[in-house]
Amino acid sequence: MLHRICRLGATLIIFLLATGCTARSVQPELVNIQQARAAVETYHANGQYLHDIKIIVNDLRKHIEETLASGKYTKPAIVFDIDETLLSNYQAEKEMGFNFRPRYWRHWVNLSKAPAIEPVRTLYGYAVSKKLTVFIITGRKASVRQQTIKNLKQEGYTQWTRLFFREKFDEKKSAQQYKTAVRKQLSEQDEYQIIANVGDQESDLDGGYAVRTFKLPNYMYIIH
């Protein structure tokens, strides 16, 4: 699934600094890992996570409405990531102690039981109803293609034009390089206009080839 992973510690230092702690020097202020984990659990448990998702989804829906109404694009498309975008792995991350454990991750993916992120699933259905061409670009490896497709379909994601997995020849690329190359192909070779690119990582979104990007919150890990 994950390429060049920076797990909970670095991510949550940033999170907690942003929510009230300030650094006194060039070095970041260290945060107790146990407190950091508790902060993320509270963020999910108290409804703030879904609240923040809904705000972004509402903005995205408005963008789709306005863009399609403009009639400016002849082959409009939307791109989605999977993990922490279409599907939530919060249960698995919590069980791993917010530390990536490859064996457990493989077990989790093989179960095909990651739940949909409900506001995003609703938005996905809206995009399909508006005849937007849907592409899914995931950092998951092609070896888990069938498990992933099963999971997506069970959670109501049943319509897309193409689903891209990281192939063997992509494995030396960073996540940003890989995903940018796919969007470039869709834009330049296939002549789609990607009016929205949706993901939970900066590496999902950086690199261009999208009219607008929409970043969903993820305080559990960073992928470069």
User: Which tens digits make up the pLDDT trace of 119-138?
Assistant: 999 999 999 999 999 999 99
| pLDDT of amino acid 57 | 98
Architecture of domain 5-223: 3-Layer(aba) Sandwich (3.40)
Q: In this predicted structure, what is the pLDDT of residue 16?
A: 45
Amino acid at 219: Y
**Tens-digit pLDDT profile for residues 56-85:** 999 999 999 999 999 999 999 999 999 999
- Dihedral pair phi/psi, residue 146, rounded to 5°: -65, -40
pLDDT band per the 50, 70, 90 thresholds, residue 171: confident
Question: 5-19, 113-127, 194-208 — which is least confidently predicted?
Answer: 5-19
Identify which of 90, 100, 141 has the alpha carbon closest to the alpha carbon of residue 6: 100
- Hey, where are the domains in the chain? 5-223
Query: Looking at the whole model, is its pTM more than 0.75?
Result: yes
β-strand pairing of 193-199 with 162-166 = unpaired
